[in-house]
Amino acid sequence: MVALLQKRFRVDPIILGSAFAIIAIIVVFPFTLLFLNSFRVDGVFTLQNYATVFQAKRNYTALLNSLQLGFFTSLFSVLLGAPLAWLVTRTNLPFARLFKTLFILPYMIPPFIGAIAWSQLLNRRNGYVNRLAQSIFGIQGYVFNVNTMPGLIWVMALYLYPFVFITVVGALERMDPTLEEAARTCGSRTMKIMKDITLPLVAPSIAGGALLVFASSIANFGIPALIGMQGRVFVLTTMIYSYMHSGGFKGISMAASLSIMLMGISVGALLLNNLYLKKKQYTLISGKSMRPKTLSLGRWKIPCFVLACVIVFVTVILPFFSIVLTSLLDAWGADITWENLTLRNYKYILFDYRLTRDALKNSFLLAISSATICMILGSLIAYISIKTKIKGRKLLETISLIPYTIPGTVVAIAMILAWSGGFGINLYNTFWILLVAYVAHYLAFAVRTTSASLEQIHSSLEEAARVSGGSWTTSLKDIVIPLIRPGLVAGWFLIFMPTLRELTMSILLWGPRTVTIGVAVFEMQEAGYVQISAAFATLLLIIVIAGNLLVKKLTRGKIGI
């Protein structure tokens, strides 16, 4: 194939070769630089940076906080996600299918919006819940303070538990029911089967979900930034942010060393999942789609139903209500009366406020262009990996998948090091540095969705086009692209949606003229413009929900929530 291409079509090696070049420039170069930089002081290789990092107690505390946050968030996510998964798949819980959708819903809400909602609800000074408690029980002072480590864990777990829920639901649905039936014929009762058969079989999936939660909570920036920093609870991501914020050369080198550490923890957790747990998950669970018999909850049916309703209320309705209510308030902190409600905040963000209008424009432009570039580059990489025999094709694919496993904060630091003029190109504070970072981070989505589609296309379909007289490009145009089009569309939206609301990388890379939606919400919230940030957050939620419904319609329910 390769030799054939080289003989006849001089353009093709250029197109295919460009994929290697682009990956080298936007992925290999920045991350190698970051890695080398963390070991270098005045041009000499040393571990001094890491030693310096730990000399400052606050760095050490941030590391411990990150680990603590990751551990407890995973724990609570398992305690919440695994039983709920069992309830909706294996019992006669009323409206189980509806609950299945509702329990996944928090996953769709951008975490920093959840953080804003919860700081409105549990804020020490004037959180809705605290005020309600004060007026009902006549308590002086506050009941809850969200700006603490437990508050952080609470909010994080509510937004990340769907990871555990989704993996466990998948495992329970795919599990071969004959495994349980066999235990029944051996004389086991329902509860004993649960303990002896079902739980051990889904344990690797539970652990896998927990590791995903761990990696995501450590990589998360929005929640610890909006909730933790106010209470002076710092984790690695927020520590890096504050070093970058304070600026200076020393700040950057500290940030780089912390980044490597953050990356190590997060990538380690994901590797553990991929290398060890994924294998177990596949060997234990068959692909049959038979529905196992559901268990009757008996007298527990009503309590379980009420519990499910409460969970939906707390994770979805309450925060949503809080955000919308706040966005309609004239004065934050005043009593909620009809006189205090207004639509002025919406008018302001849509028509009058330059920051929000710029943010909308920038984010849409960024999301559309990064999704498009990712899909072009990603499908090229997937094509090379699956349909050609070019040397190094698997390496190319692997490298293109790596940046997604790296926390966004680290990606941003690497981009700053590479593209701030030190190597002749200065993209700092421009639209382009955001674009490069988005493309690098979300490229994995494009590669994955396209390779899944390409694997379905037998090579003879292309060969048939060749013997019919079509050139390589003709067969690409007439056969391959039309056949993978649904995958391309789905992949585009999978990148468009998260980049539209991106915060973690944007907060480190934005400049005066490149504010994004995420950054705008964050900055307004930090500046205390609570109502307009809530209004903007509501607008974003509406866009996200509409986008998800659209994707679901386009992919006939295969992708989206």
Partner 1 sequence: MSEVILKGLSKSFGEVNVVDNIDLEIKDHEFVSFLGPSGCGKTTTLRMIAGFDMPTRGEIFVGKRLVSSVKERIFVPPEERNVGMVFQNYAVWPHMDVFKNVAYPLKVKKVRQAEMRERVMRVLSLVKLNGMEKRYPHQLSGGQQQRVALARALVMEPDVMLLDEPLSNLDAKLREEMRFEIKDIQRRIGVTIIYVTHDQAEAMAMSDRILLLHNAVVQQLGAPHELYEKPGNQFVADFIGLINFVKVRTHVSGAGCFATFPNSPDTPPLEIEKTYLLEGRDRDQILAIRPENIRLISPDQSLIRGRITKKVYLGNTVDYRVALGKDEIRIEASPSLDFDTGEAVGMKFESYVLFDKNDR
Work out whether 394 is an interface residue with partner 1 (CB under 8 A): no
Work out whether 489 is an interface residue with partner 1 (CB under 8 A): no
The beta strands (E) that lie in 35-172 are given as 40-41, 44-45
CB of 340 to partner 1, least distance (A): 58
CB of 481 to partner 1, least distance (A): 10
Which of residues 357 and 466 has its CB atom nearest to partner 1 in the complex?
A: 466
Which of residues 340 and 471 has its CB atom nearest to partner 1 in the complex?
A: 471
Contact 227, 147 (CB under 8 A): yes
CB of 477 to partner 1, least distance (A): 11
Which of residues 199 and 464 has its CB atom nearest to partner 1 in the complex?
A: 464
Which of residues 284 and 484 has its CB atom nearest to partner 1 in the complex?
A: 484
Work out whether 466 is an interface residue with partner 1 (CB under 8 A): yes
Contact residue for partner 1 among 55, 467, 512, 528 (CB under 8 A) = 467
Work out whether 473 is an interface residue with partner 1 (CB under 8 A): no
Work out whether 482 is an interface residue with partner 1 (CB under 8 A): yes
Cα angle, residue 33 at apex, residues 29 and 38 outer, rounded to 5°: 160
Task: Return the closest-CA partner of residue 128 out of 316, 335, 309.
Answer: 335
Work out whether 460 is an interface residue with partner 1 (CB under 8 A): yes
**Angle (deg, nearest 10), helices 354-387 and 481-500:** 140
User: Cβ of 505: how many Cβ atoms within 10 Å?
Assistant: 26
Work out whether 15 is an interface residue with partner 1 (CB under 8 A): no
Which residues are CB-neighbours of 492 under 8 A, at least 6 positions away?
A: 371, 372, 375
Rounded to whole angstroms, how far apart are CA atoms 402 and 396?
A: 10
Per CB under 8 A, the segment of 342-350, 393-401, 455-463, 520-528 that binds partner 1 is 455-463
Per CB under 8 A, the segment of 2-10, 105-113, 129-137, 208-216 that binds partner 1 is 2-10
With CB under 8 A as the rule, give the number of residues binding partner 1.
22
Per CB under 8 A, the segment of 12-20, 469-477, 494-502, 513-521 that binds partner 1 is 469-477
Q: What is the DSSP string of 150-183?
A: HHHHHHHHHHHHHHHHHHHHHHHHHS-HHHHHHH
CB of 555 to partner 1, least distance (A): 17
CB of 11 to partner 1, least distance (A): 14
Which of residues 296 and 468 has its CB atom nearest to partner 1 in the complex?
A: 468
Contact residue for partner 1 among 83, 170, 292, 470 (CB under 8 A) = 470
Rounded to whole angstroms, how far apart are CA atoms 413 and 544?
A: 27
Work out whether 474 is an interface residue with partner 1 (CB under 8 A): yes
Rounded to whole angstroms, how far apart are CA atoms 483 and 466?
A: 16
Which of residues 226 and 484 has its CB atom nearest to partner 1 in the complex?
A: 484
Work out whether 483 is an interface residue with partner 1 (CB under 8 A): yes
CA atoms within 13 A on the CB side of 297: 17
Structure tokens belonging to residue 531: 């109502």
Work out whether 556 is an interface residue with partner 1 (CB under 8 A): no
Longest CA–CA span in the chain (Å) reads 85
Contacts 24+ apart (CB under 8 A), 383-386: 383/450, 383/454, 383/480, 384/16, 384/19, 385/447, 385/451, 386/451, 386/454, 386/455
Alpha carbon of residue 424 to chain centroid = 33
Per CB under 8 A, the segment of 121-129, 385-393, 431-439, 458-466 that binds partner 1 is 458-466
Query: Interface residues with partner 1 (CB under 8 A)?
Result: 1, 3-4, 7-8, 458, 460-461, 463-471, 474, 478-479, 482-483
